[in-house]
Chain A
Amino acid sequence: MNTVNDVYLNICHLYPDTLNLYGDRGNVICMEKRLAWRGIGVNIKQVPIGCELEWKDTDLFFIGGGQDFEQEVLLPDLEGKKADAIREAVEDGRVFLAICGGYQILGKYYTTHDGVTCSYIGAIDACTVGGAKRMIGNFMFRCAPEDGGFLVTGFENHSGRTYLGPGARPLGTVVRGFGNNGEDGGEGARYKNVFCSYSHGPLLPKNPGLCDRILELALRRRYPGFVLPELESGFEHRAASYMANRLGASPC
């Protein structure tokens, strides 16, 4: 195992008690472990509702998904200062990983199935419309070539259909399943250093290539040109290729 002296990363877990739907914390565990296994220090700061967001010292932000009730609970907290801080951090090029509800919240607005519109942060050019049909199941997408071209397997469970404007591009192309809206073949979003996905729960553990790419991007702001040492990822690849095979695609 390589040890990298004095290298560390500051991660902010936004709304850990509110947006923590089904295994979202698996992504945080994964980032923490993959840094620790390489001897890289990691500070994880949890910022729940009511706490101020000091974004300047943060390298990487993680936002999970939530149930409707929880998303309603945090709306008032998003008005004002916190939304400003998040937009500033995004524009400054900080790395974000946002899943499901967290993805929707970074967008401009959400219109529910019965026509009520909630304004969200508007940090990325995306908006979401509630649908009658839930999009549920194991799914698979391929990241864009500029994001490493990884074949990613995960589980999606959302009724919101997200549409991207010209200011954002999809994280990948759907191979099996629904993705953003079940219509245009796009899954997730990319803008500056923001990564969004509907792959809820443990997106990163089974997709170590994507995890390391996100970590490396965050480390490079602090340590330009930083390259992460390789890790043995046998279990990771075995779990991913099991699902890829089941969904009928070869993982290579």
Chain B
Amino acid sequence: MSSGAGDLIAAAAAYFFRRIVNGAFVCYNADMKRLRFLTALWLGKIAVLACRVLGRGGTDMPGRLALKICPDVLKYLSSGVNTVLITGTNGKTTTSRIVERGLAAAGLDCFANRSGANLLSGIVTCFASNAKLSGKSRHDWAVIECDEAALKFVTLYIKPVSLTVTNIFRDQLDRYGEVTHTLSSIRTSVANIPGAVLCLNADCSLTWSAADDAKNAVISFGVDVPIYRGEVSDLSDAPYCSRCKSRYNYDYRTFGHLGGWRCSSCENKRHQPDIRVTRILSSGESGTAVVMSIFDSEYTARINLAGGYNVYNACAAAACLHSAGVGDGTVIEALGSFEGGFGRMEEFSLGGVSARMILVKNPAGCNQVINYLCSGSGPALFVICLNDRAADGTDISWIWDVEFENLAARKDRLTGLWVSGVRADDMALRLKYAGFDEGELRVIRDYNELLDEIAAQSSPVYIMPTYTAMMDLRGIMTKRFKLKKFWM
């Protein structure tokens, strides 16, 4: 169902609702509120059903409809549900998957916004889908990932058990504005939820500064040692102290601006986290083995998803699970057994060829993916799909901040480097300046042709799409290769 039709239904419903209320019915205020809430919920539920019947994902429209009728619908829907909120620039989805696994392993009954619809409307849709007709939730717990900018609205209605902030990096400047805007949105949100435990990344000076004025209880998490061998060359998104504007010094760096930071002139510095990875034992295609300390108890843990950045997601999830009262043993079990989310190293079989989809959306995240791909061995084909629609960020300048030069240093591994998506030409240009000859790159604009060519490969394929490119690719793959649909 198109959003236009949804808006029309919402307008009509709001109109009739007002007619009823202003008309012959004389209700007490509380009853009117309840009537309004139930109308919003039921119409939202009908919209969810309609979307499914029509074969659309429809994760936003039902929520928007419900919000038009009852702006504080989420307050009613979330009351009585133990909710953990997870926000931050990178790692929200993976962290949520681990948390969901951990809650389930602890025997707690939960739901989550798995499809990544993480704006206010998507979160309302998720709660409405999981509510009974009476408005009561079918589940005791909710694992909700929330967009950083939407968080200040979501926290007006949801009073969570805890808020986890994975990290703060520069991201889609055209949408979020400067890093300081993201930071102030998170600060405002923290002020909205004084009762929530904050689970914060101690290695990220930006995230840490979000709690400067907060009185909330804090569980901190971080990584005590470098994750990658050798020099980390990413740009820093936070070279200067948030309090006194002097330069930060680092005892060690994990990546980007994360690591053992300390201000060169004031007292501001990283504190030893409550939950921390103290050693990286081994890393490979199937995951990373680490030593994790949870409030001074040490465990050997296997993180069931490759990539150094997933070590941070594991720590974030451990902190979040701890806030929910889940025991250490269950946390460690969840780290070793969870399944990656939507487009996070998600593996597909396309005509017998193994293809992994790794979503990219900003320089910090993309650099981590490049690090991962460069550290692997064995021949592989890499495909980058760059779109510039609203959900991707309309400004693609960020590709110039990604160290694609590192990919050019691993040509020995590459059976090919292909580009696709709306801005394929810009991507090809970036790769030319990263050290690939024009003849070494292939531009394939049509997704059907791209998937045909992938299915004809003999070595593994890694696809790096931006968000809308991933959705488009999945749409075609679902039809052609009979993959499962992605409703929540």
Contacts and interface: CB of A to CB of B under 8 A. Distances in A.
Q: Is the interface of A mostly helix, strand, loop or mixed?
A: mixed
Interface residues of A, number: 37
Nearest to A155: B395
Contacts, number: 92
A114 to B, nearest CB: 16
Q: For chain B, which range describes its interface: under 10, 10 to 19, 20 to 34, or 35 or more residues?
A: 20 to 34
A42 to B, nearest CB: 14
Contacts of B239: 17-18
Given A137-B394, A138-B394, A202-B400, A21 B429 contact: no
Contact of A25 (B179, B401, B425): B401
Contact of A22 (B170, B245, B425, B429): B170
B433 A22 contact: no
A155 B395 CA distance: 7
A206 B245 CA distance: 35
Nearest to A28: B400
B346 interface: no
A96 to B, nearest CB: 20
Interface stretch (A69-77, A143-151, A213-221): A69-77
Contacts of B245: 72-73
A68 B400 contact: no
Given A18-B239, A136-B174, A234-B438, A201 B400 contact: yes
A33 B400 contact: no
Contact of B433 (A30, A69, A157, A200): A30
B426 A206 contact: yes
B11 to A, nearest CB: 28
A171 to B, nearest CB: 19
A2 interface: no
A227 interface: no
Contacts of A18: 239-240
A205 B240 contact: no
Interface stretch (A125-133, A188-196, A236-244): A236-244
Closest 10 pairs between A and B when the two form their complex, measured CB to CB: A201-B397, A26-B400, A23-B397, A23-B400, A239-B425, A67-B178, A22-B397, A239-B429, A235-B429, A238-B425
Interface of A: 17-18, 20-26, 29-30, 33, 49, 67-70, 72-73, 134, 136-138, 155, 157, 200-202, 205-206, 232, 234-236, 238-239, 242
